[in-house]
Amino acid sequence: MATVTLTDNRNGKKYEFEILSPSVGPDVIDIRSLYQTTGMFTYDPGFTSTASCSSNITYIDGEKGELRYRGYDISDLATKKTYLDTCHLLLTGKLPSKSELAAFDLEIRKRSFVHEGLKNLFYAFPDSAHPMAMMSSSVSALSAFHYEHLDIDQEEEFQVMARRIVAKIPTLAALSYRRSLGIPFIYPDIERSFTENFLYMMRAYPSAKTIIRDVEVKALDTIFTLHAEHEQNASTSTVRAVASTGAHPYAAISAGINALWGRAHGGANESVIAQLEMIGSVDNVDEFIKKAKDPDDDFRLMGFGHRVYKNFDPRARILKNLLDELKEDLGVDSELLEVAKKIEEVALTDEYFIKRKLYPNIDFYSGLILTALKIPKSLFTIIFVIGRSVGWITQWIELKHDKEMKIARPRQKYTGPVSKKI
C-alpha cells in the first residue's frame, strides 16, 4: 500500500495516509480519517486540490488540454457523433447502435412535452424576467409534476427520470424565451430531431413556415455536445451537493442551473459577446488587454482562463475550427470574429497571459456561433443548460450508486470571536 506521511512539526507526531490511484490522472491522498486521527481539517478554498468523489464519467487533462467522456475524445464525439449519441453514452456508458439510437431518440421526442399546467407558471413572470430565472424556476417546478421521482432507487427509474430531464429542458428553454418576447407558446414538433426541434420551438410562428438549415442544426448540435459534461465544476458540484441531501432530482438540477448562471461559469458566454461588442474594433483590443492586466482594475477578459485547463480548452479549439468551416454558411459577424481573433492573438503572445496560462475557453467562441444562429445573448447560458443537463443528471445517478457518498458537509477555519456574553 502506497502511503504519504504527514509530520506535525509542533510535536514530531507522524500520521500515515493511503495514496489511491485513479485509472488515469494524478493520485489522490485519502484523508477521510484526517480529523479523527489528527484533530485537524484541511484548508482548500475553492477546492483547488480536493477530489470530492470518485467518478468514471469524464476525464480532463488540463495541462495537455484533453477532455474525454467515458473514455472517448471530445473531438471525435463532436465531429463524428450527434448530441443524442453523447447523451446515450453518458447515461448508459455506451455509444448506441443504430437501433438503440433510434429508440432513444424516439423516447426523447415523446417525452419533450411538458404538463399544460406548467405553462401557467410562465405567465406569472414579468416581461423583464431573465430567461435563466424562468428556466431554473420551471425546472424546479417539474418536481411538483413528477413527484414520484423523489423516491426512486432503481437504475430503470433513474433512466426514465434522466430522459425526462434531457427531453423537457429544451421545451422549458423555448418557453422561457417565448415568454420573454411575449410571443405565443409552441408545442414540440416530434417529427424533428432534438436540436432541430429546439430551433423550431424558438423560431416558429403559428401557421407560418419555419426554415431551419442543416448547417444551423450541425453547429448547435456540436455546441450541445461540447457542453454536455465537464466533471466536478461549480454547477455539477452544486447538483451533487443538493443530491447528497436526498433532495428531489429536479431541485438538484435547478440548483445547478442557478450555479451555472454566474459570470465566472456559464454566464461567461453572455459576457463574452457583450465584451466583444464593447471592444468593437481591432484597434481597441490593446486598450482592453491593458485593462485586463491591470491589478487595480476588476476587468477580466471574458472567455479566457480556466480552473482546470492550463492549455487551450479543447472545446474552444473545436469551436474555432467549426467557425472557420461554417462562418460563411452561417453568416457569422465578421467584424466581431476579427476582434475575437485579434484578442486571441494578442493574449497568447502576452507575458501576463502566458505566465498565468490563460487560454481561450469554450465561451470565447460559442457566442459568435449562437449570434449567427439568431439566438439572443440572454439565451446563451440557457444553451449551456440544455447541453449540460445530461451531464448533471448522469452525475446525479452516479452519486446515487456510490456507496461511499455522504451528505456534502465541508468544514471551516473559524475566524470569529471565541465567546461573548450578553
For the bound state, the minimum distance from the C-beta of residue 280 to ligand CMC, rounded and expressed in Å, comes to 19
19 beta partners: 29
C-alpha cell at 254: 435547478
Q: Of 214, 213, 164, 206, whose CA–CA distance to 189 is shortest?
A: 206
Closer to ligand CMC by Cβ: residue 170 or 266: 266
Provide CB contacts within 8 A for 244, sequence distance 6+: 399, 405, 406, 407, 408
Q: Does the active-site annotation cover 306? A: yes
For residue 97, count other CB atoms closer than 10 A to its CB. Answer: 10
Q: By Cβ distance, which residue is nearest to ligand CMC?
A: 305
For the bound state, the minimum distance from the C-beta of residue 240 to ligand CMC, rounded and expressed in Å, comes to 16
Q: How far apart are CA 365 and CA 322, in angstroms?
A: 10
Extract the runs of DSSP E, i.e. beta strands, from 87-207. none
Q: Does the active-site annotation cover 146? A: no
The SS3 call for residue 18 is: strand
Closer to ligand CMC by Cβ: residue 131 or 266: 266
Closer to ligand CMC by Cβ: residue 358 or 369: 358
Q: Of 337, 344, 335, whose CA–CA distance to 323 is shortest?
A: 337
For the bound state, the minimum distance from the C-beta of residue 291 to ligand CMC, rounded and expressed in Å, comes to 9
Closer to ligand CMC by Cβ: residue 58 or 171: 58
17 beta partners: 4
For the bound state, the minimum distance from the C-beta of residue 267 to ligand CMC, rounded and expressed in Å, comes to 8
Q: Tell me phi and psi for residue 128, to 5 degrees.
A: -80, 0
Catalytic residue, candidates 88, 105, 306, 313: 306
The SS3 call for residue 31 is: coil
For the bound state, the minimum distance from the C-beta of residue 59 to ligand CMC, rounded and expressed in Å, comes to 16
Give the helix ranges, DSSP H, for 295-375: 314-330, 334-348, 351-355, 362-372
The residues that touch ligand CMC, with contacts defined as CB under 6 A, are: 233, 264-266, 268, 292, 300-307, 356, 358, 361-363
Q: Of 363, 376, 84, whose CA–CA distance to 225 is shortest?
A: 84
Q: How far apart are CA 315 and CA 381, in angstroms?
A: 16
C-alpha cell at 103: 429508440
Q: How many secondary structure helices (H) and strands (E) does the chain include? A: 18, 6
29 beta partners: 19
Catalytic residue, candidates 286, 363, 401, 402: 363
Closer to ligand CMC by Cβ: residue 355 or 421: 355
For the bound state, the minimum distance from the C-beta of residue 357 to ligand CMC, rounded and expressed in Å, comes to 8
Question: Helix 131-145 to helix 116-123 angle, to the nearest 10 degrees?
Answer: 140
For the bound state, the minimum distance from the C-beta of residue 168 to ligand CMC, rounded and expressed in Å, comes to 23
Closer to ligand CMC by Cβ: residue 171 or 361: 361
Closer to ligand CMC by Cβ: residue 188 or 387: 387
Q: Tell me phi and psi for residue 280, to 5 degrees.
A: 75, -40
DSSP 115: -
Closer to ligand CMC by Cβ: residue 124 or 354: 354
Q: How far apart are CA 165 and CA 108, in angstroms?
A: 9
Residues 179 and 134 sit within 8 Å (Cβ to Cβ): yes
For the bound state, the minimum distance from the C-beta of residue 52 to ligand CMC, rounded and expressed in Å, comes to 16
The SS3 call for residue 59 is: strand
Residues 270 and 261 sit within 8 Å (Cβ to Cβ): no
Catalytic residues: 306, 363
